[in-house]
A and B are shown apart, each in its own frame.
Chain A
C-alpha cells in the first residue's frame, strides 16, 4: 500500500508539468481551434534559453534562470505564431498542423546544434529537501513544481475570467466573427494567446528541467505526446480538464510503472487514452455522449 501511495503521489506531483504542457495545447486549441505541435519543443527551448542567464552570470540563482526561461518561452511562442499561423492561411487546418510539426523538428535541431546534443545540468530549487512521514517521502522540488504549476494555472484563470484581454480571448474562442464585429482584433488576440501560452511553456520547461535535473533534446517528443494525451483526456479546449488530466496521467503512469514495469507503462497510458476516446470523447468534464 505504501508503495502504491508513494508511486501515485510522485506521479501526481510530476504530473503538474504535464498539466502545464496540456494547458498550452488546450488554450491554443480553445482560441484558434488549431493544434500547436511545437508547443512542448518551444517550452523546452525556453528552458534552454533560460540557461543563458548562467552564461552571463555564473552564480545566478535558479529563480533568475526560471525567469529567463519564462521570458524566452513567451518570445518563442510569439515566433511560433508568426511563422506557423500568422502567414499561413488558417482556413487550411493541415497547413498549420504541418508547419508546427516542422517547427517542432526545427527547434529540436537548433537545440541539438547549439548544445551538440549534450545533456545540460539544470538548476533546481529545494532539490535537497525531502519531506518524510516514516517511509513515505515527498520531494521538495516536486512540491515546488506542483505549487508553481498551481499558481500559474490560477493566474491564467484570472487572466481569462477577470481581465479585458481574457474577455476578448473568450469572445474570439466562442464567436470569432462576432468578436471581430465588436472591434476585437483577432490577430492581436491570437498572438497574445501564443505569448501567454509561451510564457507558461517556458516555466513548464524550466520546471521539468529542474525536476529531472538535466535538460536534453530527448525530452521534446515524449512531452509532446504526453501533452496531447492530457489535452484529449482533459477535453480539447478545457483548462480545468487539462489540469486534472495532467495530474491523472502523471499518477497513473507511475502506478502502472510500479505494477507492470517500465516497458508496459506507456501501453497502459495509451489504453487510458483510448478508454476516454471511446467513453468520454469530450474529455473529463464533458457531458456523457454515445459512440457510433
Chain B
C-alpha cells in the first residue's frame, strides 16, 4: 500500500514537473546600444518584472487546462531600421509567439511594413507575426499592418487636452511658438501633425516655429527667433538632449514664456539629469505616473530588475498582462506556434478595452490605444502631477 502511495505521489510530481516545463516565449526588442539605450534597458526590466509576477501567480493557462510559464528574451535593434527588421525576422523564425517593441518610430514604421498587411491574405507573403509595441509613439503607425498593435499614448488626444486646459484655465494666453527637433521621426510628427494642429484647434495663434537637429550643439539662432516671437506659450517637441540644449540657451537669452509645454517622451529621468534647473515648470502630458497602487507596485518591481518606470517601460509591463489575458481567452495550445500567433493576433484585434496601470485603456479599430493620461510638471528633481484631466 505504501509503495502504491509512493508511486502515485511520484506520478503527480512528474506531472507537475512537466507542467513546470511548459513555456510561452515572448521576445522583447528595442534599443540597448546607442544614445537611447535607456529605453531598451527599462523595457527589458519591465518585461522581466511582469513575467516574474505572472509566473509567481501560476503562469498562463493553456487550452488543455495546463499552465505555462512566460519566458522573456530581449534583442537589441540599436534604434536602427535595418537592424530592427533583421531582429524581427530572427524572432519570427524562432518559437516566440509575440514580440514587444521596438523603441524607435523610425524602426517601427519600416518594420510594420514587412508584416502581412491584411491578416489571412494568401497573396501577401509578409511576416505573419504579432508585434505589440510599447515605446515607438509616432502617430498612426499600427494601421500599416493588421499584425501590428500598439499600447502607446494617443498624442492627439493628450495635446488636445493640454491646449484645451490651457485655453480654459489661462484665457490670457493667446499665442504659441514651436521648437522642433526636425530629424527625429517622433518629435517631428508630434509638432507638425499633433501640437501645432491641436493648438490651433483650441483657438491659439501659432506664431512660428524654430527647428534644430537631434545632435545640435548651438541653439542661439533658434532661441533668438523664439525671443522675437515673444509668444505666451512655447511648445518644444524634442528629446532630452536637444531639449536641454534649447532650454539652457533660453535661460541664457532670458526667454521666459508664460507656459512651457514639452514632448511626452521627455517626462523622464533623462531630462532631469540633463537640465533639471532649466526644465522647472515645463508641462508634459504622460500616460504614466506612479500614483495608483498598481503603478507603484509595477515601478517597484521594475526597479528590482534595474529599470526605471516611465510611460514607455510601463506600457511594456501592461503589454505582458494584456497578452496573458489574450492568450488565455484565445485558448492558445503552446504547441502550434503559427496557430497560436494567429490566435493571439485575433485576440488582440478583438479587444475593446484593456486594464492599464492608470485605469481602463480603450482600444481603437486601427489597433491603437487610447490611454488614460495626466499632466506632469518638473519640480525640483522630480516630476509631479499637475492635473488629472480625466
- A residues adjacent to B (C-beta < 8 A): 3, 6-7, 10-11, 14, 109, 112-113, 116-121, 127-128, 130, 137, 139, 141, 208, 211-214, 216-219, 221-222, 254, 257-258, 261-263
Q: List 13 A-B contacts (CB under 8 A).
A: A7-B220, A112-B35, A117-B34, A118-B274, A119-B244, A121-B276, A139-B220, A139-B252, A212-B218, A214-B245, A222-B215, A258-B221, A262-B216
What 9 A-B pairs are tightest by C-beta distance, nearest first? A119-B274, A213-B248, A117-B37, A218-B215, A216-B241, A10-B220, A119-B241, A214-B244, A117-B35
What is the 8 Å Cβ interface bit string for chain B, positions 261-278, against chain A (1 contact, 0 not)? 000000001100111101
Q: How many angstroms from the CA of A130 to the CA of B213 in the assembled complex?
A: 25
**Bound Cα distance A119, B266 (Å):** 12
Say whether B217 contacts A211, CB under 8 Å. Answer: yes
Q: Which of A118, A208, A219 contacts B38 (CB 8 A)?
A: A118
Q: Are A127 and B245 in contact (CB under 8 A)?
A: no
Please, how many angstroms separate the alpha-carbon atoms of A222 and B278 in the complex? 25
Main SS class of interface, B: helix
- Check if B220 sits within 8 Å of A254, measured CB to CB: yes
What is the chain A residue whose CB lies nearest that of B240? A119
CB-CB < 8 A to B269: which residues of A? 118
Whole-angstrom distance between the alpha carbons of A213 and B222 in the complex?
Answer: 16
Q: Is there a chain A Cβ closer than 8 Å to B203's Cβ?
A: no
Cβ–Cβ < 8 Å partners of B212 in chain A:
262
Given contacts A11-B218, A212-B217, A213-B245, 7 further A-B pairs with CB under 8 A are: A3-B224, A10-B218, A113-B37, A216-B215, A218-B215, A222-B217, A262-B212
Q: Which residue of B lies closest to A258 (CB)?
A: B221
Closest to B31 in A: A117
Contacts of A109 in B (CB 8 A): 33
Could you tell me if B211 and A118 are in contact, using CB atoms closer than 8 angstroms? no
Which residues of the partner chain A approach B34 to less than 8 Å between Cβ atoms? 112, 117, 217
Chain A residue numbers with a CB within 8 Å of B241 are: 119, 214, 216, 218
Which of B36, B249, B273 has the largest count of A CB atoms less than 10 A from its CB? B273
Q: Which residues of A contact B229 (CB under 8 A)?
A: none
- Cross-chain contact of B245 among A10, A212, A263 (Cβ < 8 A): A212
B211 and A261 contact, CB distance less than 8 A: yes
Residues of A near B33 (CB, < 8 A) are: 109, 112
How many angstroms from the CA of A217 to the CA of B249 in the assembled complex?
20
Q: Note all chain B residues with C-beta closer than 8 A to A3.
A: 224
Inter-chain CA distance A139–B217, complex, in Å, is: 14
Q: How far, in whole Å, are A121 and B251 apart by their CA atoms in the complex?
A: 15
Residues of B within 8 A of A217 (CB): 34-35
Kindly report which residue of chain A lies nearest to residue B215, judged by CB atoms: A218
Q: Mark B218-234, 1 if CB is under 8 A from A, else 0.
A: 10111010000000000
Asked if residues A208 and B217 are in contact (CB atoms below 8 Å), the reply is: yes
In the assembled complex, B95 has its CB within 8 A of some CB on chain A: no
CB-CB under 8 A for A212 and B274, given A109-B33, A218-B35, A263-B211: no
Q: A212-B245, A212-B248 are in contact. Are A119 and B270 (CB under 8 A)?
A: yes
In the assembly, what is the distance between CA of A118 and CA of B218, in Å?
A: 19
Whose C-beta in chain B lies nearest to the C-beta of A257? B221
Q: CB within 8 Å of A: which of B172-203?
A: 182-183
Q: How far is the CA of A217 from the CA of B35 in the complex (A)?
A: 6
CA distance A7 to B240 in the complex (A): 25
